[in-house]
Chains A and B, each alone.
Chain A
Amino acid sequence: MSLFFIVALPFFGALLPGLMNPAGRSACAGVTFTVTLAAFVGLLTNLPAILAGEVVTAGIDWMPALGLNFTLMLDGLGFFFALLILGIGLLVIAYARQYLSRDDNMGEFFTYLLLFQGAMVGIVLSDNILLLLIFWELTSLSSFLLIGYWKHLPAGRQGARMALAVTGMGGLAMIGGMLILGQIVGSYDLSVILQNRELIQADPLYLPALILILTGCFAKSAQFPFHFWLPHAMAAPTPVSAYLHSATMVKAGIFLMARMWPVLSGTTEWFIIVTTAGLVTMVLGAVIALFKHDLKALLAFSTVSHLGLITMLLGTGTAFGAMAAVFHILNHATFKAALFMSAGIIDHEAHTRDIRRLGGLRSLMPVTFVIVSLAALSMAGIPLLNGFLSKEMMLEEANHTVLFNSPWLVPVLATVGALFSAAYSFRLISHVFFGPVRDDYPAKPHDPPAGMWLPPALLIIPVILIGVAPFLAEPFVKLVTAAVLGDAAEMPSAHLKLWHGLVPALYMSIIAVVGGVTMLALFKPALRIWDALPRPEAKTIFDALVGATVKLSQALILPLHNGAFTRYAAIGTVTIVVAGYYAWSTGTVGAPMHAMQTADPVLISGWGMLVAATIGMVFLHRNRFLSLILMGIVGLMVSIGFVFLSAPDLAMTQFTVEVVTIILMLLALNFLPNRTPVESTVLRRMRDVAVAVAGGLASFGLAYYYILRDPVSTSISEFHLANSYKGGGGTNVVNVILVDFRGFDTFGEIIVLSIAALLIYALTEALLSGPVRSRLLNREPDQPQAGGVHPMMMVVLTRVMMPVVMMVGFYIFLSGHNEPGGGFIAGLIVSIGVVMQYMASGFSWASARLRYPYHGVIGAGVLAAGFTGIGAWFVDKPFLTSDFTYVRIPPFEKFELATAALFDVGVFLSVVGAVMLSLESFSRLARRSESIESEYPMDIDPSRQDQPPQATQGGV
């Protein structure tokens, strides 16, 4: 099977368990099992090629410019890990089916599990280190979900967070290291990197890269000083612990060290860092494990210890060490996964994992007893079980390792580690299964159904098989070792066998086992000493560290970013002014290129009105209604300015927008307080004045400087002027730019406008469906109300005006291509005409006569514009390419037909829809329960025979 499928299967399969959830728990587990089995079988189809020593590859270029290619590679090492991941995955899935209770969402669990599985398989099969990093981060994320699967347990959430923080941080370091490595070699492909040992080790950046990569590996594989997260991650359901924390995720760091072994190992730096970290972790983990009372915590620290052992072996940098590491990875995965599952069984049946509350289970749970005993004895390093063989090899290797110029340091510490390892293994057996049967178990323990004990039992088979007949495993171990070594070292000649003769390792092993038994005998006094010793609690330190980081960030951010908008605005203004001043004072200021034009009195008086209205707004802003009128004057003056400065389109747009804006603000002011109270102190107002004056002076300076000079590069406007008629078929260049040259911009803009209108509509809906609704309905108006709500004069006038407004809009729309006007302006004019009807004749009357909802108008507009653009595709032109022709229908003059006009129809409709939807939403808020809304346009109509609406009580 192609490698792509092996990696992709779990990811695609992850979709299935969630879907199968309603079909029952067995279906859910079954589909997960099938997916994993398919990937497993697919992996096995590649076995012949691997055995023949080939490297199976598959790849496609993804982003070659970045060196990021989706290339996969399967060699002995990758095959070994993929086999562990998928094989143990199968057992864990079968086990989890039994383990999870009815209250657990099984689909969710298996989805996470498959995601994790896919990410792990991706790591071990990646040939590109960038791809590997992606999968690496995916394992951190998916393991976070798995560890925190029991969301109701605080320990689970905290453990998941800690695991994510530590492994995620390690992942960041790893990214840095990998990028350096890729830069050194000039390729991100592993197969290329692995060929460049000398180049990498001679590079001055070798040490930083090494430290960063090792940080990532140590964090993932729980090596000292990052070992503390693993025991806290034990809050996860047991299948997760069995899968992630014995066989797969924690081995990812080990895998990477093994993968990078040919290029990174062999140097003094590698030797000192990796061996020391491994040794410390091994001893520390083993000692702590002995004194843990929680079964899973004991196993967690024992895992930490064994991972340290493997790390130390890889650190020695010898071929024999690498072989021993590979062998121990295999052995550890088998017995530790079995132990985790058994711990889960005990927890499941006895309802406690506390060793102090257990004991005497030997006769109650005989099957579990056999499984745990065999696995634990293997962990202790007892002959005829596989753990013994790799431990012997470790001790042998330790015997030859000289660290810090001391020939006895490593052997002694390794023996101490092995001793404690034996001790906690013995404690596990004796304190849980031996001793008298108790009568105070939280539940009555008995052996679980076969579905639960079979998976660990299956794992015991290789434990014994390899232990008795190590030569069976030898070809495979050597195959994997060869993949680890690459070209960096010769294959060791040693064989895997039970009896090596009376070598020092055997004596060390005997010391360890005898010492372990002695430790167990002395456990009670030892525990008293241990409990009396002051120990740093990793979680407290971690929490304090996180707390301190949060405090530091707050101290840095809060003064600037405290949630007060006013503060941001002030800081932002000052920053911009200071930055602008810096640019100004360090740049060169050229001489003006244009002479000042003279200003006539009309212009000066317009300027005077604008400035007076603006300053008036500042002084009178507490009277909100007055300041709104003043704003209208400002807008009007700006529009007139546009007229004067040769921008008729702008003037029309500004003018019409001004009208709808003021209507909108008036509608809002209807609800808001009419006055702004005096709140800020004089000092604060002076500060604001200073900021405002600085900003005003800066923008004045910028504008004044800019108006008198030409831009540094020539504008593209010449092109537009020259091609407007030839290419766009219109003489109003502004309109041609909008609907043709830059039609795509306009298309985006009408969509933004439409979204804004829909947002307003949605906010109104939210308000009217909440508690605000009743308050709005029962609101007392704060202003005296006019007598006639719908004055006759106004109704008549707006009705008469409506056709005129429509015709003006129509004219402005049609003439827009050649004269000032166009869809935007026409849309605004028509909107004003319609709004007038609402104002004059009332909301109910107007909406009753509304044939198409404004949402529909908006949608029709965007679609019309979009389809016009798409139309260009049918003649093999890019989106929004326009065309035009001239036709003459007698008796009319020759006129132009342009596709741009269709686009402008879209603009027109969206503008009408958006403006009307916004205003309509505001006016919906204004309806009150006691107000009488007439269904007639006029309050008094002489031609009407019925009662005036003051007497009727309907129409709302």
Chain B
Amino acid sequence: MEFLIASAIGVMTAAGIYLVLRLRTFPVILGISLLTYAVNVFLFTSGRVIPGAPPVLRDNVTTYTDPLPQALVLTAIVISFGMTAVVVMMGLGAFLGSDDDHVDDQPDTPQDKPEGSA
């Protein structure tokens, strides 16, 4: 089971990095989202993985998983939504403003950027 979790983290990280290295905003945002999943799961597993022992106190139960990474990851998920939204907004604004959704500055080429245009 540990192997499965670790390999899932690895696959999501690799896919995330690959997409982050793309040249257009949308795949980069998808890549960042994948990296977010990977990081969140990794942080979560730092509390060890124990099925069937949620950290909700019950009488006569002594085994609980580590609640602290869960609390940290919970806020991380919500914050990452906020940040994704901001990044999407910035990418969208850039695209609407310049009709270009490249991540990097494009070298000015005379045919598609006439002199004097911003």
Contact = CB atoms under 8 A, between A and B. Distances in A.
Interface string B84-117: 1110111111011100010111000000000000
A942 interface: no
A759 B6 CA distance: 36
B23 A680 contact: yes
Interface in A721-777: 721, 724-725, 731-734, 737-738, 742, 745-746, 749, 752-753, 756-757, 759-760, 763-764, 766-767, 770, 772, 775-776
A646 B5 contact: no
A631 B30 contact: yes
Interface in A585-636: 594, 596-599, 603-604, 607, 610-611, 614-615, 617-618, 621, 624, 627-628, 631, 634-635
B11 A638 contact: no
A621 B19 contact: yes
Interface stretch (A72-80, A185-193, A522-530, A661-669): A661-669
A700 B45 contact: no
Select the residue from B30, B52, B89, B103 with max chain A CB neighbours within 10 A: B89
B2 to A, nearest CB: 5
Contact of A653 (B25, B68, B78): B78
A188 B71 CA distance: 48
A911 B34 contact: no
Interface residues of B, number: 85
A648 B54 contact: yes
A925 interface: yes
A128 to B, nearest CB: 44
A471 to B, nearest CB: 73
Contacts of B86: 756, 759-760
Interface string A666-707: 001101110011011000000011011101111111111011
B51 A646 contact: yes
A564 interface: yes
Contact of A661 (B52, B70, B81): B81
B81 A745 contact: no
Contact of B85 (A564, A635, A664, A767): A664
Interface string A892-911: 00000000000000000001
Contact of B81 (A766, A770, A915, A925): A915
A914 B49 CA distance: 32
Contacts of A665: 29, 88
Contact of A624 (B26, B58, B78, B91): B26
B96 A720 contact: no
Interface stretch (A229-237, A289-297, A333-341, A708-716): A708-716
B118 to A, nearest CB: 11
Interface stretch (A272-280, A352-360, A565-573, A805-813): A565-573
Interface in A871-927: 911, 914-915, 918, 921-922, 925
A861 B107 CA distance: 46
A864 to B, nearest CB: 17
A614 B34 contact: yes
B82 to A, nearest CB: 4
Contacts of A708: 2
Contact of A749 (B34, B53, B68, B78): B78
Contacts of B101: 672-673
**Interface size class, chain A:** 35 or more
A764 B50 CA distance: 44
B77 A657 contact: yes
A696 B17 contact: yes
A334 to B, nearest CB: 57
Contacts of A731: 56-58
A664 B50 contact: no
B82 A752 contact: yes
A152 B102 CA distance: 39
Given A563-B105, A646-B54, A648-B54, A753 B78 contact: yes
B26 A676 contact: yes
A688 B23 contact: no
A828 B74 CA distance: 12
B30 A645 contact: no
Contact of A764 (B11, B55, B89): B89
B72 to A, nearest CB: 8
A737 B2 contact: no
Given A570-B21, A706-B46, A775 B96 contact: yes
Interface in A636-670: 638, 641-642, 644-650, 653-654, 657, 660-661, 664-665, 668-669
Contacts of A673: 101
A474 interface: no
Contact of B44 (A634, A645, A824, A911): A645
Contacts of A716: 68
A746 B54 contact: no
A610 B46 CA distance: 20
A855 B3 CA distance: 45
Select the residue from B20, B70, B79, B88 with max chain A CB neighbours within 10 A: B70
A688 B21 contact: yes
Contacts of B74: 649-650, 653, 734, 738, 824
A760 B4 contact: no
A236 to B, nearest CB: 36
A679 B11 contact: no
A756 B77 CA distance: 14
Contacts of A647: 44, 54, 65, 70, 73
B5 to A, nearest CB: 6
B79 A749 contact: yes
A406 interface: no
Select the residue from A598, A611, A642, A703 with max chain B CB neighbours within 10 A: A703
11 contacts: A594-B2, A597-B51, A610-B8, A614-B11, A692-B16, A696-B10, A696-B14, A715-B68, A764-B89, A820-B54, A915-B81
Given A647-B70, A699-B13, A737-B68, 20 more contacts: A563-B105, A596-B1, A631-B34, A645-B51, A649-B70, A671-B92, A677-B24, A696-B17, A701-B6, A701-B10, A703-B9, A707-B48, A710-B48, A724-B57, A737-B71, A746-B75, A759-B89, A760-B89, A911-B78, A914-B82
